Amino acid sequence: MTDPRNWQSPTDEGRNPPRYGEQIPPNAPPGGQQPGWTPPPRPGLIPLRPLGFGTLLWAPYQVLRRNPKATFGSALLIQAVITLATLAVVGTVTFFALSRVDSAPLAERDAVQAGAWVSIALSALIPIALSLVASALLQGVIVLEVARATLGEKLRLVLLWRMVGRRLWPLVLWTLLLSTAVLVGLGVVAGVVVLFVTLGGAWVYLGVLAGVLGVLLFIAGSAWLGTKLSLVPCLIVLERLGIRRSVLRSWSLTRGYFWRTLGVQLLVAVIINVVSQVVVTPVSLLFTVATSLVDPNASFDAYLPSIVLYVLVLFISLVLGAVATVVQSATVALIYIDLRMRKEGLDLELARFVESGPGSGRIDPYLVSAGPRTPGA
Please spell the DSSP secondary structure of 134-172, one letter per residue.
HHHHHHHHHHHHHHHHHTT----HHHHHHHHHTTHHHHH
Say how far apart CA 18 and CA 16 lie, in whole Å.
Answer: 6
CA distance 119 to 259: 45
Q: Which of these ranges, 121-135, 162-176, 278-292, has the smallest mean pLDDT?
A: 278-292
Specify whether the CB–CB gap between 306 and 290 falls below 8 A. Answer: yes
- Residue 260's pLDDT band (cuts 50, 70, 90): very high
If you write DSSP's letter for every residue of 77-143 in order, what string do you get? HHHHHHHHHHHHHHHHHHHHHHHHHHHS-GGGHHHHHHHHHHHHHHHHHHHHHHHHHHHHHHHHHHH
For 71-91, write each residue's pLDDT tens digit: 898 888 888 888 888 888 888
Q: Dump pLDDT digits (tens) for 272-311.
A: 888 888 887 887 777 677 666 665 555 555 566 667 777 7
What is residue 126's predicted lDDT score, i.e. its pLDDT?
81
pLDDT for the residue numbered 279 = 81
Q: What is the CA radius of gyration of the chain?
A: 28
* Mean per-residue pLDDT over the chain, rounded: 80
